[in-house]
Amino acid sequence: MGRIDIHERIRDSHRLRAAQGRLRQRRTVTRRDGVRLEVDGQWLTGFCGNDYLGLASQFEVGAALQDAAAREGTGAGASHLVCGHHALHAQLEREVADWLGVPGALLFGSGFAANLAVQQALLEDGDVCVQDRLNHASLIDATRLAGARLRRYPHLDAEGAMRQLRGTGEGAAMLATDGVFSMDGDVAPLRSLALVARTSEALFYVDDAHGAGVVGPQGRGSVADAGLGVADVPLQLVTLGKALGGYGAVVAGDADLIEHLAGTARPYIYTTALPPALAAASLAALKLARRDDWRRERLRELVAQFREGASRFGLELMSSNTPIQPIVCGSEASALAMSAAIERAGFLVTAIRPPTVPEGGSRLRVTLSALHTPQQVQALLAAIADARDRVDHGREALA
């Protein structure tokens, strides 16, 4: 028998995804002005990004980026352990550690790389990582790439996590969860999970990509909001590309664990360091995020407005009080049709389909920013309700 032809495999995969309504296409943004985006020659109001605090286009952040690039150039030039570790990297790590109230922090090029680094450096064959079933793909992939056993518990079920940790042998154990879940917008029961981790002798790791900057005192995230510290959560991840509006990620927590990651984690050692100018931008954004409580207050007001308005329109919401407000559509076809109708009304809200979400859970993932206005939120709600009615009555051609 001959080998499997990879091109034929790709064609089969494409045909299947097309039949399921799961083909994905990139949309090119020509220009951006706050929450407004020009896509394919049309200006749209975006409600699908992660710039929760509106810092990506903030003047002071952009100025910090430009000033640092003018002084330091466009790249770090090497990995951190060779000669790429810049003073701006070190300053950003110290600032994040101070913000979160933990001993140490380590900067990575992306949240995906950071999650892989944590598990690859701390887990071995025979160890186990127990995870929430709806954790981000990077956490799940990291366990597989680390060679550890992956066990998953029902969403938000601390007792389920305890059951999965029982009888896992004498190897090391890690309990890992999102803080705020990226597709549902709900928050993990961190206090209960911390107790489970402690009684099961498992290291507790929280990926707080969508919580940091948004929830908790000074936006310190879901761990601080739950009243937990480094003794309860030895490691947590803070992304720089969501509420802080930049790029990269920071793992923060126990000093010994951070030192071990810096010396052994392959995704840290064997890659070029983040450009110093991006670190400078994140430093400026972090200072604003810590100081500007009005941004979080604006978000809370918009979330309350959206949920109240959605209820009046009879839209099906999920249990979320964060800026992530999914509208459940059910089928891929319905989600695509509603997204297209909303775009014709002037709004960009992406349809999220399996495998990103469970089967039958296709949705419009609405996300709110401190830059949105109440008028924009109200207009979006009316557009979603109209799109829902059109699809329900069969007047909208399904994609």
Cα 72 from chain centroid? 29
Q: Is 356 annotated as a binding residue?
A: yes
The closest alpha carbon to 65, from 55, 80, 54, belongs to 55
d(Cα 325, Cα 337) in Å, to the nearest integer? 19
The closest alpha carbon to 172, from 215, 195, 209, 205, belongs to 205
d(Cα 36, Cα 192) in Å, to the nearest integer? 40
d(Cα 172, Cα 127) in Å, to the nearest integer? 5
Q: Is 198 annotated as a binding residue?
A: no
d(Cα 337, Cα 264) in Å, to the nearest integer? 48
d(Cα 155, Cα 97) in Å, to the nearest integer? 29
Q: Is 112 annotated as a binding residue?
A: yes
d(Cα 181, Cα 135) in Å, to the nearest integer? 7
Q: Is 111 annotated as a binding residue?
A: yes
Backbone φ and ψ for 139, nearest 5 degrees, come out as -70, -45
Residue 252 amino acid letter: A
For the sheet containing 347-348, what is the strand order? Answer: 29-33, 36-39, 42-46, 347-348
- State both tokens at 316: 């099906």
d(Cα 54, Cα 219) in Å, to the nearest integer? 14
Q: Is 155 annotated as a binding residue?
A: no
Which DSSP string corresponds to 195-220?
HHHHHTT-EEEEE-TTTTTTSSGGG-
Given a contact cutoff of 8 angstroms between Cβ atoms, the answer to whether 179 and 139 are in contact is: no
d(Cα 299, Cα 289) in Å, to the nearest integer? 13
Q: Is 24 annotated as a binding residue?
A: yes
Q: Is 239 annotated as a binding residue?
A: yes
Q: Is 28 annotated as a binding residue?
A: no
Residue numbers in the known binding site for pyridoxal 5'-phosphate are 111-112, 182, 210, 239
Residue numbers in the known binding site are 24, 111-112, 136, 182, 210, 239, 356
Residue numbers in the known binding site for substrate are 24, 136, 356
